[in-house]
């Protein structure tokens, strides 16, 4: 999919409506487009218009299903945040992706290999309709996040305004910072989230997770997502929190992550292993996107 650039601010009047499916994974919601049957060209401003919760469809991320770019994968998967930025990975989106390609009869395979900007992931549709995702190997060195630090560590002090917070960093295809808090209900997600998201030590910006450890196999988590704001659930955020918590000795190998939208099961057998996630994927409705008339340039 390539962005189009035009010299006029008005779309051609007969631009056909675009079919889409609205889906969610534990309340992290998506507009899903099928670009396997027709090419779809969107500009960041189109995505922002679609994402608008009052004037558009409203979503946290836009997911685009594309033909597999090579013979060893079944599909391509592109992801855009509500602010129009393209991102490398989306865990809840991956589960909805699997459900979508089944519902649309694009494949009948139970094991689906998908190419993302961050590499290949493998999705497995279970008998119960849940989806298991092999999210690949986490990466934790500062340059892989990317994060500016003098040397690798498990926790980094980071100055934010007049405070210093301690955080772990994990790349799950996309960048995550994880902070441990005593109580997620009172955690400063709305204030610290955006400050860390755009902190100069994270040159590609970052998703910020606030984790409350209830037991070695149970955490609560809220995530302020890069390019979107706080969401009801973040799949890669859940994986990153479990990886960070396990490396720090706080968590075991199988953890239930309680997000505001519901629970995810995360399994990480430790260094050198891939992270596995399991959870639901829900179709909400099918719709047609009618291109808005753009206002004339002022
Ligand atoms: N909601 C997602 C993550 C989406 C991308 C993220 N906002 C980013 O910018 O990296 C998930 O479920 O993983």
Tell me how far the alpha carbon of residue 194 lies from the centroid of ligand 1, in angstroms: 15
Buried-state track 90-101, b at ≥16 Cβ within 10 A, e below 16: bbbbbbbbbbbb
Pairing mode, strands 275-279 and 131-134: antiparallel
Catalytically active residues are 90, 234
The answer to whether 235 and 133 are in contact (CB under 8 A) is yes
Please name each of the domains of the chain with its CATH number: 2-136+282-290 (3.10.310.10), 142-273 (3.10.310.10)
Question: Could you give the CA distance from residue 165 to residue 228 in angstroms, rounded to a whole number?
Answer: 22
Which pLDDT value is given to residue 7? 41
**Residue 265 is assigned to a ligand binding site:** no
> What pLDDT is stored for residue 294 in this prediction?
65
C-alpha 29 to ligand 1 mean position (Å): 11
92 is in an annotated binding site: yes
Which of 44, 80, 64 lies closest to 114 in space, CA to CA? 64
Q: What is the mean pLDDT of each run of 10 residues along the chain (298 residues)?
A: 43 77 98 94 96 97 96 97 97 97 96 94 91 96 98 98 96 98 98 98 98 98 98 98 98 98 98 97 97 69
225 CA distance to ligand 1 centroid (A)?
6
Mutate to test the pocket of ligand 1, among 174, 233, 282 (most ligand atoms within 8 A of CB): 174
| Ligand 1: centre distance to CA 91 (Å) | 7
Provide DSSP, 94-117.
HHHHHHHHHHTTS---SEEEEEET
Burial label, 158 (beta-carbon count in 10 A; 0-12, 13-18, 19+): buried
Predicted local confidence at residue 67, as pLDDT: 96
Give the pocket of ligand 1 (CB within 6 Å).
Answer: 28, 60-61, 81, 87, 90-93, 174, 207, 225-228, 231, 234-236
pLDDT value at residue 297 = 60
What ipTM was estimated for this complex?
A: 0.98
Q: How far is CA 32 from CA 35, 65, 122, 259, in A?
A: 10, 7, 19, 22
Q: Cβ contacts of residue 296 below 8 Å, gap of 6+? A: 9, 10
Q: Is 174 annotated as a binding residue?
A: yes
Q: Whose CA is nearest to atom 3 of ligand 1?
A: 90
Nearest Cα residue to 211 out of 236, 161, 245: 245
pLDDT score of 129:
80
Q: Is position 28 annotated in a ligand binding site?
A: yes
Residue whose CB lies within 8 A of the most ligand 1 atoms, among 82, 204, 207, for a mutation test: 207
Mutate to test the pocket of ligand 1, among 30, 88, 236 (most ligand atoms within 8 A of CB): 236
Q: Specify the ligand 1 atom closest to the Cα of 235.
A: 12
């Amino acid at each position: 999919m390539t962005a189009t650039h035009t010299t006029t601010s008005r779309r051609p009047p007969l631009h056909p409506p675009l079919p889409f499916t609205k889906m969610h994974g534990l309340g992290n919601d998506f507009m899903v487009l099928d670009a396997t049957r027709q090419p779809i060209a969107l500009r960041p401003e189109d995505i922002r218009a679609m994402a608008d919760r009052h004037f558009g469809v409203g979503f946290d991320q836009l997911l685009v299903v594309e033909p597999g770019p090579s013979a060893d994968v079944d599909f391509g998967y592109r992801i855009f945040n509500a602010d129009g930025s393209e991102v490398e990975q989306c865990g809840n989106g991956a589960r909805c992706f699997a459900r979508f390609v089944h519902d649309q009869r694009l494949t009948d395979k139970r094991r689906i290999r998908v190419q993302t900007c961050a590499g290949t992931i493998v999705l497995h549709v279970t008998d119960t309709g849940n989806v298991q995702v092999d999210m690949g190997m986490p990466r934790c060195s500062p340059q892989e996040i990317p994060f500016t630090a003098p040397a690798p560590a498990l926790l980094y002090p980071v100055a934010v305004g007049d405070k210093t917070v301690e955080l772990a960093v994990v790349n799950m295809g996309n960048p995550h910072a994880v902070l441990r808090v005593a109580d997620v209900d009172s955690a400063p997600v709305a204030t610290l989230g955006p400050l860390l998201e755009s902190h100069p030590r994270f040159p590609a910006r970052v998703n910020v997770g606030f984790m409350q450890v209830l037991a070695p196999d149970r955490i609560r988590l809220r995530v302020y997502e890069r390019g979107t704001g706080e969401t009801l659930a973040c799949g890669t955020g859940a994986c990153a929190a479990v990886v960070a918590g396990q490396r720090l000795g706080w968590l075991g190998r199988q953890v239930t992550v309680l997000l505001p939208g519901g629970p995810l099961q995360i399994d990480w057998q430790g260094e050198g292993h891939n992270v596995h996630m399991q959870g639901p994927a829900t179709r909400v409705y099918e719709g047609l996107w009618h291109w808005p008339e753009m206002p004339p340039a002022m």
